[in-house]
Amino acid sequence: MTESALVSFHADVATDSRGRRIQEILDWDDDQLERVHDYIQWLFPLTERSAFNPGAPILTATDIAAFRQRPDLRASLHKAFLRLLAFYGFAETTGEPDLSIVRAPDFPRRAQSWARPGNHNLLRISRILRAMTQLGLEREAQAFLAALEALNAEDPARFGVVTLRYWRNAVSPG
C-alpha cells in the first residue's frame, strides 16, 4: 500500500507540494514561519480542507491510524510542535509522568507578535491542538492548552472566550 503524501512528508521520504522537506521548514527562522502561510497544514494536518490553503492535503482515517501506530511519525509531529512552541515563546518540560509547557525566556518578545485578539496565529494554534489530539499527542496538546489558559487568565481580553472555546474543543475527545 502506498503511503499518503502527509505520511511520506512526516516520514521524511517526500516533500510537501512546494518541494520542501520537513526539516527545511523546521529550520526556518521565526520571521519566515510568520511570513509563510502554506506550511502549517503539512506540519499539522486536519480532516477538513483548509480555507486558507485549499490545495493542502487532507488527513484521512488511514493517516490517523499510521500516526497512532508509528513512533517515527509521532516523533516528527512532536518535533514540529517543539519548533512552533519556540516560535510562540514556549518550551516543553518533561519529568515522567508530568509534562508541561512553560514560558521560555524570550516569551515576552515572542508574544508581542501573536498573543492578541484576531491574530492569525490563534487559528494556527487551533490547528496545532486539533492535529496533535487526533494524531496521538494528546498529552502535549493538553499541556499546551493549559499554558494558553494560564496566559489568558492573566489578561482575559488577550484571546477571548470564543478562541478559548475553540482551543478547548480542539483537545476534546471525539
pLDDT digit string, tens, across residues 23-46: 999 999 999 999 999 999 999 999
| Matching residue, cell 515576552 | 108
Asked whether residue 93 carries a pLDDT value surpassing 70, the answer given is yes
Q: Domain segments of the chain: what residues? A: 5-170
* Residue 67 vs residues 6, 113, 156: alpha-carbon distances, Å: 10, 31, 35
Residue 96 pLDDT class (50, 70, 90 cuts): low
User: Rounded mean pLDDT of the chain?
Assistant: 93
Q: What is the pLDDT of residue 1?
A: 62
CA 122 to chain centre: 11
Asked whether residue 51 carries a pLDDT value surpassing 90, the answer given is no
Angle 71-88/138-154 helices, nearest 10 degrees? 10
Output the pTM of the full model.
Answer: 0.95
Task: Check if the beta carbon of residue 45 is closer than 8 Å to that of residue 6.
Answer: yes
* Mean pLDDT, range 105-129, rounded to an integer: 92
What digits encode the pLDDT tens for the residues 55-89? 789 999 999 999 999 999 999 999 999 999 999 99
